[in-house]
Amino acid sequence: MDKINVINIISDLHTPAFIYDENIILKKLGILSNLREESRLKILFPLKTFSLTNALYLIASIVNGFSASSLFEAKLARDILTQGKTVHITTPAFRNDEIRDISFLCDYISFNSLSQVKKFYYQVVEQANCGIRINTQLSFIKDDRYNPCRKHSKLGVSLDELRELWKNNKKFFKKIGGILFHTNCESENINQLLETIKHIDKTLPEFFAKINWVNLGGGYLFNSKKDLAPLKEAVNFLKSKYDVEVFFEPGKGVVGEACCIASSVVDIFNSDGKDIAVLDTSVNHMPEVFEYQVRPEIAQESTGGKYKYILAGATCLAGDVFGEYQFARPLAVGSKIIFKTMGAYTLVKAHMFNGVNLPAIYAYTQKEKLELEKQFEYEDFLIKCGGDKYATL
């Protein structure tokens, strides 16, 4: 978070706490809105990234719509959005028992495979626009765990497959009104998006001419209008050559830097010569730390500092550990540790393993006030355990 100095304001918080800064979210959306006005790009926010409802109302007031990955997210999108705003959906797993409801809730449905198009196309109600997710087979990501364009990918119809189909079964394309691709992850180089569009255009030029809309996915980070210049060029290219409607749906780029998780040290001891500081948070509040074995950035770290601690999570999992960090001053029970850039893929994936409570949710508002929005309770845990909130156990 750059706008507020969280270290100064967290002393009174109940930790663990998830704090989102409305001002940073609005700043990022403002950068995108400039582009929307200049090039008629439509902006969507993907609910999979972050879905705190109060913040979503704020985001909804600016974007053209939301994108969903499931029936529940589509329902959430419709609950929050006002009339006239758009809902897109893509998932590798549309289901028989959900497709009808989904097609009432969503305006744009991107099927992930040709078999799903064949199976569900005729169940989609008329007002919904059908498209496909494509695998551009042009990869910029080295780590295959994040790479939708990897070999044997489960995400999207490959350009090779589409080219074959184009040659042999043009009738099939009558069903396809648009395409979605999402091929990058945390990239600061939006030229890669422009390159991707040129690559599709070169591989299958007839295709862009045939469709009405393109959803460019997300996967890019940005801090200024200048960073988005290649996106503007990409949108101008698509609009001037093919006159298609263009959507962009960045998640982490909008909320990643806008949130942090604040925690407190609850115990310190030595283990085989290293000091362990146990925190009241856990990797389960930021699951990608464990999934991808990343070392999260903390606000208090002082590179070269003489006090070293292994920061550990509050659960019994041996690997619930954040990493070794250096500090200028020794930690003590009660010291605060703030994990930075925690807006994306944290609370949406968080769970209560060991019964450890989820972080309380605070908003740092446009009036520069910290407001407690939600404190999870035992009842939330009980419901997850199959219990009834009102039953006396």
Ligand X SMILES: Cc1ncc(COP(=O)(O)O)c(C=O)c1O
Q: State in angstroms the smallest separation of the CB of 187 from ligand X.
A: 9
* Contacting ligand X within 140-199 (CB under 6 A): 182, 185
The least CB distance from residue 153 to ligand X, in Å, is 12
Nearer to ligand X, 249 or 320 (CB): 249
Q: Which residues pair with 46 in a beta bridge?
A: 67
Among residues 16, 251, 343, 359, which is the contact residue for ligand X, using CB under 6 A?
Answer: 251
250 is a contact residue toward ligand X (CB under 6 A):
yes
131 binds ligand X (CB under 6 A): no
Binding region for ligand X (CB under 6 A) out of 163-171, 211-219, 282-290, 369-377:
211-219
Give the nearer residue to ligand X in terms of CB position, either 46 or 178.
46
- Whole-angstrom CA distances from 287 to 112, 291, 342, 344 are 26, 6, 11, 11
From residue 66 to residue 85, the character string flagging contacts with ligand X as x (rule: CB under 6 A) and all else as - is -x------------------
- Residue 178 or 218: which CB sits closer to ligand X? 218
102 or 337, CB closer to ligand X? 102
Contact set for ligand X, span 24-63 (CB under 6 A): 46, 48-49
Looking at 54-62, 137-145, 217-225, 385-393, which segment touches ligand X (CB under 6 A)?
217-225
In this chain, which of 219, 313, 343, 359 binds ligand X, going by CB under 6 A? 219
- Selected binder of ligand X within 156, 218, 296, 359 (CB under 6 A): 218
- For residue 55, with 0-12 CB atoms within 10 Å meaning exposed, 13-18 middle and 19 or more buried, which class applies? buried
Q: How far is the CB of 14 from ligand X (least distance, A)?
A: 28
Residues 339 to 358 in contact with ligand X, rule: CB under 6 A: 344
Chain residues binding ligand X by CB under 6 A are: 46, 48-49, 67, 90, 182, 185, 217-219, 249-253, 344
